[in-house]
Structure 1
Amino acid sequence: MDNINNYHILVADDDSEICDVIELLLSCEGFRVTKVANGNEAIEKVDNGVDLIILDVMMPEKSGFLACAEIRKKTTVPILFLTAKSQDSDKVLGFSAGADDFLSKPFSNVELLSRVKSQLRRYFIYQGKNDIYPNQQLVLKDLTLEMESKAMMRNGNRIDLTETEYQILLLMMSHRNKVFSAENLYESIWNEPYYYDANNTLMVHIRNIRKKLGEDPKHPRYIKTAWGKGYYVD
């Protein structure tokens, strides 16, 4: 990635050893790192100079989930959760709070770097290329996706989306009736190779989007499932 030393990463974890390891790893790659020990400090440290946030789920004073929800009121930069929990319900909570990705402990240095670079690349390099959408908006039934503001509108009401949710809808709405396999969707959105647990991550995002859109899970109007093949919108 170009000018990687310009990226500033905030790391929040009450385990000082983990924080130190992450700081060393990211610093060696040229990132600038700020460390905090709890959720409240993470919220306080977030400003326009932070480009990505790594949050531990279980922290004193304020959990990663609660901190994430507060941070989302201030910024849309990528948020990567570190967690010892890998249950689907925890991912639902995290994505609902505004997370972009999860990484389970213990994790390898290679995997952490891959996730960090993927999120930064997707957010800062691949986003905002709206020249391929000359109308600057996409319409699906009563939904309108505004590219300039990255807002999803329905009957004049705004639906708040995370960056990942926006990218998923942008891709699918710009290719109506195309069936995207889980692998195709994941690699298109995350810009990294599909891996063993990626389908679960994607399913949770789709579920969360459907919930925000007020979908009936049994009879979805917007994001539909082609059983055994993937997802599509029509």
Structure 2
Amino acid sequence: MQTRTILIIEDEVEIAELVSIHLRNEGFATLLAHDGKSGLSLFQQRSIDLVILDIMMPEMNGHEVLTQIRQINQTPVIFLSAKQSDFDKISGLVIGADDYMTKPFNPLELVARVNAQLRRAFQWTGQTASSKADVINIQNVCLDADQRTVLVNEQKVNLTPKEFEIFWLLASSPNQVFSSEKIFQRVWKEDYFEGANTVMVHIRTLRKKIEDTNKANRLIETVWGVGYKVNA
């Protein structure tokens, strides 16, 4: 079985080493960086399967690092931050993070979340895609599940992993309405507590990326009080 490599970008040395110890105990290989610039350099030079990323760091902050990472690929990223407000969490998810944990944290929970993100990244087939074609063409948009790409008017559009999974879920069953709860459970695969805001923000950014604002008929439609659907 291939050993997965986790990159830990954290300026607090003690925290970085603590996380590294727990991950190595689970059989992972780890790389450590203590500022954003050196962390991004390691990411670009090495084969990384997942990144654990602090936000407040010297040289480059976590948001800047994540933005650069997302221009390269869709490697899973977990924010580990002392920032605990809902705004900070949603902001992190919107720019492309796959998960967000706040300090202080339980190292065993972090390991569990790492395992969960790796399962999704390396075993993802899409619940809705498993019995359908790997390519969906709908209106002026083409989704490719194998390549995890989206073309709008034959031009590639860069989506975050969560945005792609939301879009694939909706597009796989056009005209079917999915509640925020169902979307959250299917995409995040977690219990639904206050996931409505998270889903709403992801839908909003997804629309900005894929929709022609001059079109009267939206591709992704909000069915008020019920949920969201893709119009065929």
Give the shorter-chain TM-score range.
0.7 to 0.9
Q: Deviations over 1:88-109 (max 9, x none)?
A: 5434543453322222222223
1:60 is matched with 58
CA drift at 1:128: 7.3
When the two chains are superposed, the root-mean-square deviation of aligned CA atoms in Å is 2.5
Q: Deviations over 1:23-75 (max 9, x none)?
A: 12222222111111011111111146210001111110000111111122333
1:9 is matched with 6
Cα distance change, pair 55–220 in 1 and its aligned pair in 2 (3 A): farther
Cα distance change, pair 171–19 in 1 and its aligned pair in 2 (3 A): same
1:106 is matched with 104
Equivalent residues in 2 for 1:131-210 (5 A)? 132-134=131-133, 136-191=134-189, 193-210=190-207
Unaligned ranges ≥5, structure 1? none
1:43 is matched with 40
Are residue 121 (structure 1) and residue 119 (structure 2) matched? yes
Contact persistence 2:90–2:198 (CA under 8 A):
no
1:77 is matched with 75
Deviates more, 1:75-84 or 1:175-184: 175-184
Cα distance change, pair 104–8 in 1 and its aligned pair in 2 (3 A): same
Identity %: 36
- Counterparts of 2:22 and 2:41, CA distance in 1: 24
TM-score, scaled relative to structure 2: 0.85
Q: Deviations over 1:104-162 (max 9, x none)?
A: 2222234322321221111101247966333x321232222123432211112211112
- Counterparts of 2:51 and 2:230, CA distance in 1: 32
Contact persistence 2:177–2:228 (CA under 8 A):
yes
TM-score, scaled relative to structure 1: 0.85
Paired AA for residue 70 in structure 1: Q
CA drift at 1:197: 3.8
- Counterparts of 1:87 and 1:128, CA distance in 2: 31
Paired AA for residue 131 in structure 2: I
1:222 is matched with 219
Cα distance change, pair 114–198 in 1 and its aligned pair in 2 (3 A): farther
Paired AA for residue 50 in structure 1: I
- Counterparts of 1:110 and 1:179, CA distance in 2: 37
Unaligned ranges ≥5, structure 2? none
Cα distance change, pair 107–183 in 1 and its aligned pair in 2 (3 A): farther
Contact persistence 2:6–2:30 (CA under 8 A):
yes
2:118 aligns to what SS in structure 1?
Answer: helix
Give the total of aligned pairs. 227
Contact persistence 1:88–1:204 (CA under 8 A):
no
1:233 is matched with 230
